[in-house]
Amino acid sequence: MKRFRAVVLGGSGFAGAELVRHLLFHPEVELIRVGAADHIGELLSKALPHLEGRTTLRFENPGPEEAVAGAHIVLMGLPQSASIPVVEAALAAGAKVIDMSGAFRLRSPEQYRRYYGDVHPRPDLLARFVYGLPELNRDSIRESPCVASPGCFATAIELPLLPFAKKGWLAGAIQTVGVTGSSGSGVQPSATTHHPTRAGNLRTYRPLTHQHTPEIEDALRSAGAGEVRLDFVPVSAPLVRGILATSFAQVPAELTDAELLACLADAYQGEPFVRVPDGRLPEVVAVSGSNYAEVSAVPGPRAGATRLVTLFSCLDNLVKGGAGQAIQNMNLMLGLPEALTLEDPGAYP
């Protein structure tokens, strides 16, 4: 008998598929309901063919109160606006909530309006949510009923920078280029994400205005960085899964190569899902399909009071950058072993 009951909303998309995949085989959590805006009444396998014969659950389109009924925890892969009434219903019913949208990642309603283009409908709820990066907020996640899972780019960019922020070595401008796969754009194709226009193309989009920028800056400051500013340029690439981020940061000039390299190795020793590769740089094929991230540092030249450090990171945008991290947060919130259902290393190549 499984101890907890979970609901997934937004289950017909790519992130929803990852949530469902992990929950169907979770030893302690029973998936009782999958909500979606399409495929209503159909078996999950109609939209998620890899689940053929694995479950008799069907897609539903319930209202907020019905959606959360009987659940200990609700995992949402919904648009920002759709997540608000579900959060309200879940809190009223005593259920825990993990929101994978950007609705509750920021503390500032002004930043939300600037980067998401609308007034936040419930700014009073922002303080209820913990930012769901376990490597930063593990203890708070365990105690909170409401967790906002980070964005995929945000997770990839934050992980190599956080150890430097915690030591107080970061301040000023950080420049990052992040390359991402097409699954991050969602299940519905558009003119710029459809396979024929993406398969042989590299394209920059939202340069210096990407919505994950303020959450990265917030996370770095909360970890101990000074007044950092992120200049972030995202690039869409002709691959399905994966993010590779390259960040350029200035640190105090007196730091040695050994100190810079040890910063990441020491910070992530014992972390279940962050690896510092030995003898190679992070690469997408090493983490694709898994909840693992890889990070690495290359010390650079000195110039006056600072020196350059170049940081590399990669992850699967749908797993550690999305649904896998949500499951990791769920395990923490329910008092379960953090790595349950998440230790599969993925496939190679």
The catalytic residue positions are 152
Sheet holding 59-60, edge to edge: 59-60, 29-35, 4-9, 73-76, 96-99, 146-148, 130-131
CA dihedral 17→20→21→25, nearest 10 degrees, is 180
Contact 288, 296 (CB under 8 A): no
**Helix ranges, the chain (H):** 14-24, 64-68, 80-93, 109-116, 134-143, 152-166, 195-198, 213-223, 257-268, 324-333
Token digits for 334? 């329910």
Cβ proximity of 146 and 128 under 8 Å: yes
DSSP designation for 184: G
What ranges make up the beta strands (E) of 207-339? 228-236, 243-252, 274-275, 293-303, 306-315
C-alpha neighbours within 13 Å on the C-beta side of residue 251: 29
Q: Where are the alpha helices (DSSP H) in 25-125?
A: 64-68, 80-93, 109-116
Contact 132, 325 (CB under 8 A): yes
Say how far apart CA 168 and CA 114 lie, in whole Å: 28
At 183, list the tokens.
Answer: 């699954």
